[in-house]
Amino acid sequence: MKALFDKVSIRTSKMVTNSYSTSFSLGIRMLHQSVREPIYAIYGFVRFADEIVDSFHGFDKAMLIKDFRDQTQDSIERKISLNPILNSFQHAVNHYKIDQWLIDAFFDSMEMDLEDQTYDQATFEKYILGSAQVVGLMCLRVFCNGDNAKFESLKAGAMSLGSAFQKVNFLRDLKADKDNLGRIYFPGMNVSTWSPELKLEIEADIATDFKNALVAINKLPSNSKYGVYTAYRYYFKLFKKLENATFEELFTKRMRVPNTTKFRLLFTSKARLAMGPYFL
């Protein structure tokens, strides 16, 4: 039965999410049950694409990402795929009418990772759009569930949240990206040009993204407020750790938020939710 295959598909997407990201797994569990499955589907999809360009060394990454892109498009058009990750993703795309340009922009950014690049402001913004902001918009389509007016009103905030998350990831992963992948995403930045002034400039940009995102989180539908706010607070906590670190520390070790802190955020976020408009 197709229904059984669809259940297997979404379980696969959930397994991928739980295996790759503790923080996102916790956040998704705090969403209303009605929207958890499509969010698992979206995360499983973007995770697999990201793995192709980041992890599959020794294989033809360009061929693999092109094949995955073609299979994605075919699955959306046919409304089925024998790849369970793509089968659950196509269902979310078709059911929630996720815009095609979001998927195209995502793959465009993934393909940028196939080659060594020195990012300027324009290419950095293009990468942020496709790798993070559009993922926030895909999720927002699910949360709004056909309410286009709500989607448009929250669109800018969702993009800011995706941008904040991605830039925090870039700061956290400076060492791994540089050593393992030969990448430094921030425009014009390398070890020799790093300065306290540049660090402050990057942090101010991220802080603005967080501030703009919080405005939208306050207006999210009830199906997603708790989960998104919890993820927001986790990333903000990580941002503060990065902000307090020296650039030498950022280039030599990976900062993280302990699991005990993550679980504490779950409970304190719920308490703050009950108190009304959110604060940090």
- In this predicted structure, what is the pLDDT of residue 52? 95
Question: Is the backbone of residue 255 left (phi > 0), alpha (psi -120 to 50) or beta?
Answer: beta
Give the integer Cα–Cα distance in Å for 36 and 10.
Answer: 10
- In this predicted structure, what is the pLDDT of residue 38? 97
Q: Which domains does the chain have, with CATH numbers?
A: 2-275 (1.10.600.10)
Closest of 244, 243, 240, 237 to residue 265, by C-alpha: 237
How large is the average pLDDT for residues 14-23?
88
Of the chain, the end-to-end C-alpha distance in Å amounts to 47
Confidence of residue 273 (pLDDT cuts 50, 70, 90): low
Q: Is the pLDDT of residue 87 over 90?
A: yes
Structure tokens at 273: 């939710």
- In this predicted structure, what is the pLDDT of residue 193? 66
> Which are the contacts of 29, defined by CB distance < 8 A and separation ≥ 6?
36, 227
How large is the average pLDDT for residues 46-67?
95
Residue labelled with tokens 């800011």: 160
Give the integer Cα–Cα distance in Å for 206 and 163.
Answer: 8
How large is the average pLDDT for residues 8-24?
90
Q: Specify whether the CB–CB gap between 238 and 257 falls below 8 A.
A: yes
Calculate the average pLDDT of the chain. Answer: 89
DSSP 133: I
- In this predicted structure, what is the pLDDT of residue 192? 61
How large is the average pLDDT for residues 18-23?
84
Lowest mean pLDDT among 33-42, 103-112, 170-179, 265-274: 265-274
- In this predicted structure, what is the pLDDT of residue 248? 79
Q: Give per-residue pLDDT as tens, 164-206.
A: 999 999 888 877 777 777 778 888 666 566 777 888 889 999 9
- In this predicted structure, what is the pLDDT of residue 75? 98
Confidence of residue 140 (pLDDT cuts 50, 70, 90): very high
Q: Is the pLDDT of residue 280 over 60?
A: no
Give the integer Cα–Cα distance in Å for 43 and 37.
Answer: 10
Q: Give per-residue pLDDT as tens, 226-266.
A: 889 988 988 999 999 999 988 778 777 787 777 677 667 66
- In this predicted structure, what is the pLDDT of residue 262? 66
What percent of the chain has pLDDT above 90?
Answer: 63
